[in-house]
Amino acid sequence: MKDQSPYSLDEVIDRRIYTDEDIFRQEREKIFKRTWQYVGHESELREPGRYRLTTIAGEPYIVCRDQRGEIRVLGNTCTHRGATLVRGSRGQCKAFRCPYHAWTFDLEGRLIGVPIPEDYGPRFRREDFCLTQARVETYEGLIFACLDEQAPSLDEYLGEAAQYIERSCQGKEVIGYNKCLFKGNWKLYQENFGDGYHPPFLHQGMGPAFLSTYEANGEAINLGNGHMLLKYYPPEPQHLDLSKLSAALGIPLTLETMKTTGIINPYPGDYDSVLSVFPNFIVPDIVSVLSVHRLTPLAPDRTLLEITILGDPQDSPEFRQFRLRQSTVWGPGGRAGIDDIAVAEKCQRGFHAKAIATSLMARGSSDERAGMVFNEYTIRGFYRQWRHYMGWSG
């Protein structure tokens, strides 16, 4: 690119942010330790003692419900010699017992058992060796944790994104899981879900497979705080090729069956949405598939994607099966998910071409907050927030 670029800081992205080891380490300290992180769903922790494991900023944590019914996020490391207390991904217990020397902690993180404690002498006090704890807040069943005591409340942090979480997630429960590792930077997947430009071209099994035109009835909205929203309104019947859509979904369709299965009239509202919460949390609510995507950065070019599938407790058995069948749209084997993962990996490989230093994100007027779904207001808002946390002024 020429030295005098016609584009603003908002409109070009330095590709080093996807590949540089030092930038990756700074992200853990400056972003992931200071923001609210989605760590689970309340329906996974119905009884005291239920737990699931998570990672925040590279550190292991246990998300559990204690004996009083409160949700806690505890450090998954023994305060004695550092061994992790819990293995696997989820389970139930009455206390957390270290496999190394049997130090035992209750569900509130207090040290309650130490073999042969007298040998430590009078200086030793159990209360000095409790498990570390993160701040915890919940919203519409979603559990969030934050390591920064000075960070704003969850309500303030979510801002305008809260109403869309409420719309999609209120009253829902976990009905399934999907996860995979991919060889790409975490931001590539996150920004992809604020990008309404790619679906008709990348998703050959989802876009051109059923649209007879590239017209898209929707909008892209920068919600502030780095949060992004894509809205898709039901396609006009004249823009649909029902034979191709039937083949793509494996369901014989007419306009009437599309309404009853939620494809023209999305469930639960009058539009489909893709909400991306800064920095690494996504809620796609598309064609009766409601899921929560969480990205855990492992390296500049390696990311863990965990997908939690949500359903309504009032779903009929038939509709529950439809949700689960449709949920395969995401993940490494899904009709759309496989494309999103593959293109992130293609971009990551392409960044090795050092002759091209920046990526362009300039679609749409730079001062607009909402508009045509094909434009990139949302992604620019995401990277403004990224620069704010990273302390990048230029």
The upper half-sphere exposure of residue 220, i.e. CA atoms within 13 Å in the direction of its Cβ, equals 25
pLDDT at 371 over 50: yes
Is the distance from CB of 193 to CB of 229 less than 8 angstroms? Answer: no
Residue 233 belongs to domain spanning: 160-390
Confidence at residue 372, expressed as pLDDT on a 0 to 100 scale: 84
DSSP-derived 3-state class of residue 315: coil
For the record, the structure tokens of 177 come out as 């899981």
Instruction: Judge whether 333 lies within some domain.
Output: yes
Provide the 8-state DSSP code for 98: -
CATH, residue 333: 3.90.380.10
> Angle 5-7-9 (CA atoms, 0-180°, nearest 5)?
105
Last residue of a domain, one of 146, 169, 184: 146
Instruction: Give the largest CA-CA distance in the chain.
Output: 81
Question: Residue 35: is it exposed, middle or buried by C-beta count within 10 angstroms (0-12/13-18/19+)?
Answer: buried
Asked if 175 and 246 sit in the same domain, the reply is yes
Write down the H helix ranges in 208-353.
Answer: 242-249, 255-260, 317-326, 337-350
Q: How far is CA 111 from CA 76, 81, 107, 261, 380, in A?
A: 13, 14, 10, 52, 47
Asked if 70 and 168 sit in the same domain, the reply is no
Instruction: Judge whether 253 lies within some domain.
Output: yes
Percent share of the chain, pLDDT over 70: 88
Instruction: Judge whether 14 lies within some domain.
Output: no
Confidence at residue 210, expressed as pLDDT on a 0 to 100 scale: 54
Q: Which residues of 226-257 are buried (b: 16+ CB within 10 A; e: fewer)?
A: bbbbbbbebbeeeebebeebbebbeeebeeee
Instruction: Judge whether 25 lies within some domain.
Output: no
Asked if 166 and 140 sit in the same domain, the reply is no
Asked if 111 and 200 sit in the same domain, the reply is no
Confidence at residue 130, expressed as pLDDT on a 0 to 100 scale: 98
Instruction: Judge whether 110 lies within some domain.
Output: yes
- A 10 A CB-CB count for 338 gives 17
pLDDT digits (tens, 9 = 90+) for 100-152: 999 999 999 999 999 999 999 999 999 999 999 999 999 999 999 999 999 99
Confidence at residue 255, expressed as pLDDT on a 0 to 100 scale: 67
φ and ψ of 274, to 5 deg: -130, 110
Q: How far is CA 57 from CA 24, 52, 259, in A?
A: 11, 17, 43
How many Å apart are CA 109 and CA 164, to the nearest integer? 34
Instruction: Judge whether 259 lies within some domain.
Output: yes
How sure is the predictor about 82, in pLDDT bands with cuts at 50, 70 and 90?
A: very high
Asked if 192 and 132 sit in the same domain, the reply is no
Asked if 255 and 362 sit in the same domain, the reply is yes
Asked if 112 and 179 sit in the same domain, the reply is no
φ and ψ of 378, to 5 deg: -60, -45
pLDDT digits (tens, 9 = 90+) for 193-250: 999 888 878 887 665 445 545 556 788 999 999 999 999 887 666 666 677 667 766 6
Q: Which amino acid is at 79?
A: T
Asked if 170 and 316 sit in the same domain, the reply is yes
Confidence at residue 373, expressed as pLDDT on a 0 to 100 scale: 85
CATH, residue 83: 2.102.10.10
For the record, the structure tokens of 169 come out as 């997630």
Asked if 116 and 200 sit in the same domain, the reply is no
Instruction: Judge whether 255 lies within some domain.
Output: yes
Provide the 8-state DSSP code for 354: T
Last residue of a domain, one of 120, 146, 172: 146
Asked if 97 and 214 sit in the same domain, the reply is no
Instruction: Judge whether 19 lies within some domain.
Output: no
Confidence at residue 394, expressed as pLDDT on a 0 to 100 scale: 55
**Residue from 281, 315, 304, 297 nearest 41 by CA:** 281
Asked if 135 and 229 sit in the same domain, the reply is no
pLDDT digits (tens, 9 = 90+) for 326-337: 888 887 777 788
Instruction: Name residues whose C-beta falls within 8 Å of residue 75's C-beta, 6 or more positions apart in sequence.
Output: 59, 60, 61, 62, 109, 131, 132, 133
Asked if 68 and 199 sit in the same domain, the reply is no
How many Å apart are CA 162 and CA 140, to the nearest integer? 9
For the record, the structure tokens of 369 come out as 């907050």
Counting the structural domains of the chain, the total is: 2
For the record, the structure tokens of 39 come out as 């760590």
How many Å apart are CA 282 and CA 31, to the nearest integer? 16
Last residue of a domain, one of 146, 172, 196: 146
| Element containing residue 182 per DSSP (H, E) | strand 173-182
